[in-house]
Amino acid sequence: MRQSLSAMARLAARELTGRMTTQHTETQPEVNPTVLVLGGTGKTGRRVADRLIRAGHPVRIGSRSAETPFDWEDRRTWEPALDGAAAAYLAYYPDVCDPGAAATLRAFAERAAGHGTRRLVLLSARGVRAALPAEEAVRVPGVAATVLRASWFFQNFDEGILRGGVLDGEIVFPAGDVKEPFVDADDIAEVAVAALTGDGHGGRTYEITGPRPLTFAEAAAEIAGATGRPVRYVPVSAEAYGAALVRDHGLSDELGAFLTDLFATLLDGRNARLTDDVHRVLGRAPRDFADYAREAAGSGAWTG
């Protein structure tokens, strides 16, 4: 598995983590068609797969270790994965911001269209201009493509890179007092399933947010209240955080500098705005962070 700047971008941008284009004509799929879920073991992918299975759809997980192996870098694996798939969920590795992402996604989307796949749903990120070419790449003739730009996930606090800070009682991160409309990965998955299985989503870009913006200090306070033990947010500069990654985690100076710039860019308040896209698609409000914190605490996510 390669280690690259874009791999770190995937960790930092996607995990911490509605523009309209020309609408494609959608082809009515067969009843309960097979859906290919790429990244089907990740935070959103496994949730997408679970919901599809519960709804009675045959699901094919696309990964290097799956029964039908899939590798973005080995195009020989694409056709077996696409065989018979009427729709596909795309969680691109290493990241949609990777310089080669757009070309690879364009080739895959064209291959999917040729195999009769009529719906594609791409997971992207809010506020990242480098992701725009990848978003455009999946919009090919004959395919109804939907882009999901996600805010930072709730689950980063119990499944991702912030969990260690919660366990230590100090979440050290370079977010200052910027507000972020953290979003539940389950809400993202539910919107994805709606786009994979229903009409009216082709050509759309949904920006998925939670119901209220929170600072990291406020999020830490919510977790502290749910767990009954002290958890506080400790702000640091992007430069200090990048240096700590180099010093304590063995990253190269180049990677540290890249992440420093990434955090300084993303954590500037550009994504504080709320959207109503969850309500528009699902007909309900997105889940609140307080409900997530209580459920995660009750499940034992922050013990041990």
In this predicted structure, the answer to whether residue 25 has a pLDDT above a threshold of 50 is: no
Specify if 296 maps to a domain. Answer: no
Across the range 57-74, mean pLDDT stands at 92
For residue 299, the one-letter residue type is S
pLDDT of residue 302: 97
In this predicted structure, the answer to whether residue 50 has a pLDDT above a threshold of 50 is: yes
The residue among 41 and 258 whose pLDDT is bigger is 41
Q: For the purposes of burial, counting CB atoms within 10 Å of the CB of 239, is it exposed (0-12), middle (13-18) or buried (19 or more)?
A: middle
Which CATH number covers residue 282? 3.40.50.720
- Residue 55's domain comprises 5-153+182-213+272-288
Specify if 167 maps to a domain. Answer: no
In this predicted structure, the answer to whether residue 275 has a pLDDT above a threshold of 60 is: yes
Specify if 253 maps to a domain. Answer: no
Across the range 271-277, mean pLDDT stands at 95
Closest CA to 35 of 55, 61, 16: 61
Are the beta carbons of 91 and 192 closer than 8 angstroms?
no
Across the range 106-130, mean pLDDT stands at 95
Percent of the chain with pLDDT over 90: 69
61 strand-pairing partners: 37
Beta strands 144-150; 205-208: pairing state? parallel
Global pTM value: 0.87
Percent of the chain with pLDDT over 70: 89
pLDDT of residue 155: 97
In this predicted structure, the answer to whether residue 258 has a pLDDT above a threshold of 80 is: no
Please provide the average confidence, as pLDDT, over all residues in the chain. 88
Across the range 183-189, mean pLDDT stands at 98
pLDDT of residue 234: 97
Specify if 57 maps to a domain. Answer: yes
Specify if 80 maps to a domain. Answer: yes
Omega into 94 within 30° of 0, i.e. cis? yes
pLDDT 10s digits, 216-232: 999 999 999 999 999 99
Beta strands 232-235; 170-173: pairing state? parallel
Specify if 267 maps to a domain. Answer: no
For residue 144, the one-letter residue type is A
In this predicted structure, the answer to whether residue 241 has a pLDDT above a threshold of 50 is: yes
pLDDT of residue 23: 36
The residue among 269 and 24 whose pLDDT is bigger is 269
Specify if 163 maps to a domain. Answer: no
Q: Report d(CA 304, CA 301) in Å as an integer.
A: 8
Across the range 60-78, mean pLDDT stands at 92
pLDDT of residue 6: 41
Specify if 298 maps to a domain. Answer: no
pLDDT 10s digits, 123-168: 998 988 889 999 999 999 999 999 999 989 999 999 988 999 999 9
Q: What would the 3-class secondary structure string for the chain be?
A: CCCCHHHHHHHHHHCCCCCECCCCCCCCCCCCCEEEEECCCCCCHHHHHHHHHHCCCCEEEECCCCCCCCCCCCHHHHHHHHCCEEEEEECCCCCCCCCCHHHHHHHHHHHHHHCCCCEEEEEEECCCHHHHHHHHHCCCCCCEEEEEEECCEHHHHCCCCCHHHHHHCEEEECCCCCEECCECHHHHHHHHHHHHHCCCCCCEEEEECCCCCEEHHHHHHHHHHHHCCCCEEEECCHHHHHHHHHHHHCCCHHHHHHHHHHHHHHCCCCCCCCCCHHHHHHCCCCCCHHHHHHHHHHCCCCCC
**Number of domains present in the structure of the chain:** 1
pLDDT of residue 31: 62
Banded pLDDT at 22 (limits 50, 70, 90): very low
